[in-house]
Amino acid sequence: MSNDAVANAGDTASHQGAKRHGPPVKRLMAPAVLFLMVWMIVPLAMTVYYAFENYNLMMPTMRGFAGLGNFEILLTDGTFWAALGHTLTLVMACLAITVSLGLVLALLFNKTFLGRGVARTLAISPFFVMPVVTGLLFKNMLLHPVYGIVSWAMRTLGFEPIDWFAHYPMFSVILMISWEWTPFALLILLTGLQSLPEDQIEAVRLDGASRLQEFRHIVIPHLGQVLYVVVMLESIFFLTSFAEIYATTSGGPGTATTNLPYYIYQNAFFQYDIGLSSAAAIAAVILANIFAFFLIRFVAGNLNAGGQR
Amino acid sequence: MAVVELKGVAKNYGGAHKNAKAANAVENFNLTTRDGEFIVLVGPSGCGKSTTMRMIAGLEANTDGEIRIDGRDVSQVAARDRDIAMVFQSYALYPHMTVYDNMAFALSLKKVPKPEIEQRVNDAASILDITHLLDRKPRALSGGQRQRVALGRAIVRDPQVFLMDEPLSNLDAMLRVDMRAEIIKLHRKLGVTTFYVTHDQTEAMTMGERIVVMRDGHIQQIDTPNALYHAPNNVFVAGFIGTPSMNFLKMTLGGDGKTLTGQTARMVASSERQSIEAHKGRDLMVGVRPEHLVLTTDEAAANLIKGEIDVVEPLGSVTMVQLEVDGHRITAQLEGDTSVRMGDAIMLTCDSARLHLFDAETEQALPRHEHRTETA
């Protein structure tokens, strides 16, 4: 503070007055900055450090600088590439399903109908269920080959029940995560729709637009920002999906549903190879960044193109 | 260009409203425009003027009656197929499109060839003097510019009917006067039948070829600005049209069918314009406009209002004074150089021919001999 006072000595009196009576911004921000340091920067730095170390908990004597050794092992590991592929499949599929389904639901819930409030709350409720609970719900109550409600329905209709997590593991995981996250897309897109001014819809109708054109030229551009937020946030969450997989397939059968977070978990807590899993974690961070970069380019480009036409 | 006919048009919002009066937003609306006429719908808020316009546009369905455009009943036709352009109070420009795209949008939906779109947009832009704004997005425009773009978007379509819903109410006072003149010029040039909704009677008087005065969903009077001013149908219209508002005094018509007496005021009615015979001995509402009251010193004047000034508003060209007479607030518009002060006792008089007589109970104007209103 004393430094500030010296630096601002030449400023006008009113400015100084404002400074003196203004909130002590730095001191108030300090806890948050400290929190971020401790909870994000330190672990990240540690991860980077371990990634270049030989560090296996089962072989405590073999510590030391590994160079790019961990990355070499990682990039030649078929499971890593499979996990990368599964991660991308999962993210893409879940994005496609949640955003399109969320948009359709948002359009429906934007209409007034009897019992809308109750229906809306019900539609959003999956989002409030914890990921692990979601996993257990799907594993034991919905998709279980014996006790699952889906199996019961199939048996009732005369079909052979399916062991979903064993035979269609990726499909089941995508289904589960989409169930969990569609409400999020619905919620955000619905608020977006509700902020669309009524008179714009009326103007476009008088301009001779059909329902489809109205949607294409007014609703979608209006939702642009909101869609961007949904896609950004959801892809971050899908990239880091873990609990649902942990609670259901445990990455299996085999490595059929092992995504990057699960691969990291397995290496760290089953192989006890901290070095390798740290290297994989760095790869995950890089992937997330690449993803975000392309996503921003793609979404921004689309928005501009939509505006141009 | 088109003739718009409204026959017995009504809008009823159904039982959802608590009282039946509010549920009937518009009742029995009848009007036939001439081709290319400029019609102004005016009235206090909630009188149903906007609802009427939205029914013409097709944004709301009329629950009764028929709406015809050039003879075709459009009551069941969707808004997009009515070939009507509307200028909204909020302008309702498409925020993600440039000015050019905003104006070209309706034409491109109709698959008009690109060169023609360009031609029409450029023509409209030069009429409205917004050519230099064509590349901008609406958010980069001022209120007046947005207003022009909204008008431009309507005129490029060359529609059968223009609807304008309080288009000037978001502009500041100076700009409003300019745009008013400009819209009138534009209308003369294009000759498109136009409906214009406003709650501002000055706007209505200056712009309308004919004005529809509405109240509580009912038409009060449809007339030219002059006729509304000189021959209002009822107390509501008389009070609504003209600034400052017409003064009203409750007076009793004597047995001679001429002398009107209030508590302190006295008047002599003229039967030249309105037939008053039938109202001998009954109470009348006597209306006289502030601009028709003059100061007098003649205590024996036939028409005389006496009172003590309690508000003086010098406006330069004129001086407004207000006084309380027989429990009514009276405003008089005096010469600008009149020297009067608060508390002065003054006497006002007026020409008997300037008096408007209304039945005190029904609030309807007594039957007129001449200046008969054309419609209504």
Q: Note the ipTM here.
A: 0.79
Asked if the bond preceding B367 is cis, omega within 30° of 0, the reply is no
Residue-range domains of chain A with CATH: 78-308 (1.10.3720.10)
What pLDDT is stored for residue B15 in this prediction? 59
The residue of chain A with its CA nearest to that of B94 is: A200
Contact criterion met (CB < 8 Å) for B59 and A202: yes
- Tell me which residues of chain A, numbers 43 to 82, contact chain B at a CB-CB cutoff of 8 Å: none
Structure token digits, residue B184: 């009138």
Average pLDDT of the segment spanning B124-143: 89
With a cut of 70, say whether residue A2 has pLDDT above it. no
CA separation for the pair B178, B167 (Å, rounded)? 13
Q: What pLDDT score was predicted for residue B270?
A: 79
Q: Does A306 touch chain B (CB under 8 A)?
A: yes
Query: Chain A residue with minimal CA distance to B107?
Result: A207
Q: What percent of chain B has pLDDT over 90?
A: 31
CA distance B133 to chain A (A): 16
pLDDT (mean) for B110-124: 90
Convert chain A into a string of H (helix), E (strand) and C (coil): CHHHHHHCCCCCHHHHHHHHHCCCHHHHHHHHHHHHHHHHHHHHHHHHHHHCEEEECCEEEEEEECCCHHHHHHHHCHHHHHHHHHHHHHHHHHHHHHHHHHHHHHHHHCCCCCCHHHHHHHHHHHHHCCHHHHHHHHHHHHCCCCCCHHHHHHHHCCCCCCCHHHHCHHHHHHHHHHHHHHHHHHHHHHHHHHCCCHHHHHHHHHCCCCHHHHHHHHHHHHHHHHHHHHHHHHHHHHHCCCHHHHHCCCCCCCCCCCCHHHHHHHHHHCCCEHHHHHHHHHHHHHHHHHHHHHHHHHHHHHHHHHHHC
The confidence band for A303, taking pLDDT boundaries of 50, 70 and 90, is low
The pLDDT value given to residue A133:
93
Q: Are strands B72-73 and B64-69 parallel, antiparallel or unpaired?
A: antiparallel
Q: Which residue of B has its CA nearest to A207?
A: B106
Q: Is the pLDDT of residue A9 over 60?
A: no
Is A8 a residue whose pLDDT tops 50? no
Q: pLDDT digits over A192-251, tens only? A: 999 888 888 889 988 888 888 888 888 988 888 788 888 888 988 898 899 989 988 888
Query: Which amino acid, B139?
Result: R
Here the tokens at position B117 are: 């779109």
pLDDT beyond 90 at A144: no
Residues B242-274: tens digit of each pLDDT: 888 999 999 988 888 788 888 888 888 877 778
When CB atoms are compared, the residue of B82, B97, B109 closest to A209 is B109
**Residues A267/A183, Cβ–Cβ less than 8 Å:** no
Q: Is B57 in Cβ contact with A204 (below 8 Å)?
A: no
Between A59 and A48, name the one with better pLDDT. Answer: A48
Residue A289 forms contact with B (CB below 8 Å): no
Q: Is residue A11 very low, low, confident or very high in pLDDT (cuts 50, 70, 90)?
A: very low
CA distance A305 to chain B (A): 11
Across the interface, do B105 and A222 touch by the CB < 8 Å criterion? Answer: no
Please give, rounded to a whole number of angstroms, the shortest distance from the CA of B96 to a CA of chain A.
Answer: 5
Longest dimension (CA), chain B: 78
A205 near B CB under 8 A: yes
- The pLDDT value recorded for residue A164 is 87
Q: How confident is the model at residue A6 (pLDDT cuts 50, 70, 90)?
A: very low
| Chain B neighbors of A203, CB-CB under 8 A | 86, 88, 92-94
Question: Helices B114-128 & B99-109, crossing angle to 10 degrees?
Answer: 130
| Nearest CB partner across the interface for B80, out of A197, A209, A224 | A209
User: What string of DSSP letters covers B229-296?
Assistant: HHS-SBHHHHHHSSSSPPEEEEEEE-TTSSEEE-SS-EEE--TTTB--GGGTTSEEEEEE-GGG-EEE
Residue A210 forms contact with B (CB below 8 Å): yes
pLDDT of residue B40: 93
User: What's the mean pLDDT when you consider all of chain A?
Assistant: 84
B193, B168, B233, B235: which is closest to B84 by C-alpha?
Answer: B193
Mutate to test the interface with A, among B50, B53, B105, B158 (most CBs of A within 10 A): B105
Mean pLDDT for the stretch of residues A49-77: 84
Selecting from A203, A210, A218 the residue whose C-beta is nearest the C-beta of B88 gives: A203
Q: What is the band of A12 on the pLDDT scale with cuts at 50, 70, 90?
A: very low
Distance, CA of B2 to CA of B246 (rounded, Å): 36
Query: pLDDT (tens digit, 9 = 90+) per residue, B163-196?
Result: 999 888 888 888 888 889 989 988 998 889 999 9
A191 and B CB contact within 8 Å: no
Report the mean per-residue pLDDT for chain B: 87
Distance between CA atoms of residues A232 and B278, nearest Å: 81
Does A224 contact chain B (CB < 8 Å)? Answer: yes
Q: Is A216 within 8 Å of chain B by CB?
A: no
Mean pLDDT of A91-114: 92
Q: Which of A216-230, A289-303, B43-57, B288-302 has the lowest mean pLDDT?
A: A289-303
Pairing of strands B247-253, B259-261: antiparallel
Please name the member of A199, A221, A308 whose beta carbon is closest to the beta carbon of B90. A199
pLDDT of A309 over the 50 cut: no
pLDDT for res B19: 53
pLDDT score for A289: 86
Model confidence at B373, in pLDDT bands (50, 70, 90)?
very low
The answer to whether the beta carbons of residues B4 and B67 sit under 8 Å apart is yes
Q: What angle do CA B115, B118, B120 make, to 5 degrees?
A: 110
Name which of B78, B92, B96 is nearest A203 (Cβ-Cβ).
B92
Chain A with chain B: Cβ pairs closer than 8 A = 64
